[in-house]
Structure 1
């Protein structure tokens, strides 16, 4: 058990007769980032709230930093940090004043609160903006300040519940860099997110939750491999060339390829990715097929998410609506 900073077995939570968690299991190794993925309503936030002692569990057992969350909630709270979906900092105060205030709320004396604030401002690259009002901070800076506030007591375990919601790419990158730095210093992070690229970049292990249960747990590469291997994709210039392109692609694939007529695209699974691509390109040239694009594609976490849960991610839905 010392291997795991977070360990949960059979967690259950009900709201009005409905299971939010229905026997959820989780094991997070120390000093790593574990991603927790799932569609809206799958139970991600409920799980985090139970592990952070904000909700009582209805069944099962969980330990955080070696402490039982049901029997030792106060001791657990001294060992964890929590950052929710929205920055919980005071916009009227400066960054420095925010951190000093949180330090005092955590019962640090004035000198130690000031010292800890200075340490965290340096760690999260906020020294230049330390004495500016938070209302003038960018979204990424506010999230970094929020992360700093959650680290006042240097927790063993940090829970991040969709920490980059609403941030632009630059802001998300700033938060990712901060999370990597925390893990390098030994903090264990449990990250819930609906951004699949975020989990792919940060997490060494991913648990997929749906309908209150863990339905998969593996490395990002392991999850991708489970839904299939590399695919070759060919986009032709004219719809009339689709049948000939299909014949060529079928000749290098391990099963019958698929066709997307709207995008004039033919794609299928291959064994030897480089050899398949080379052979397909040669045959298409010999057949005189005008090709707009040809390439290899590995499965993504979006493919995993869709295959396992039957849901598209929030990110994909937003893109489809544009």
Structure 2
């Protein structure tokens, strides 16, 4: 296969490295000619994945022509750059090219799902297709065993993603539930901020387990409101991704939460993490959408209050614990 991965961050670089181990014509597109030349010269992404050498068959470019004739164009940029990237790529793609994404989150300006943005920017002739699930970029690049979901309303697009990425250390599972896979990948970031806050404040393993379990209930309520399949939300791109992101400090969202729990303000915490933290913006958008859908999401709401209203961490925990008793189901 001929594959182009768009996005020179940790995730895009890791996917490009993995794909280039499976195929002999893989390109990584990055923004800026200087950056492309640097990556080509050094043959590694020293900022995001230091020490992980590029395969011989991986080439790096900032030229738009890099996507011409590619069987698969895989977008792996932060959610805030997703629409801009699709808008840039749209005039250049042919009808027989598959465009998919490995981006997680919601559009911060509008609250739109990524598949809604894709339909608006690419048109109905390009069905939505994505890859998501429990995965840290460095471990994928290091060929640590990983399992992910590929989702699309089109079987051919799922087949294309499987052919492009399935192999060696990476196993893929097909799932036609696009909205469910997107939802799990977006909302787990907010819960990772929550568990990070609790751990940073020293609240212990009991609190972490409670936040994860009740956080999953919030995702399931939200999923029911938007038509996601329940089994998706207890699968790789739901529960699996949530466990990974909430419990391991490779997660940028969890690390940011820990810094907040230790007393840093949001600006200092973001600077300390030094990379995009999707859960910060997703918390704002998710709470707004939940309110519009009349879905109760108290944990996400409290994370939002810490991030945007300056609510002290201990007040947040107290508010959650002092909620009225309720049945566990639902």
For normalisation by structure 2, the TM-score amounts to: 0.30
Greater strand proportion = 1
Greater helix proportion = 2
Higher relative contact order (CA 8 A, sep 6+): 1
For normalisation by structure 1, the TM-score amounts to: 0.30
Larger Rg: 1
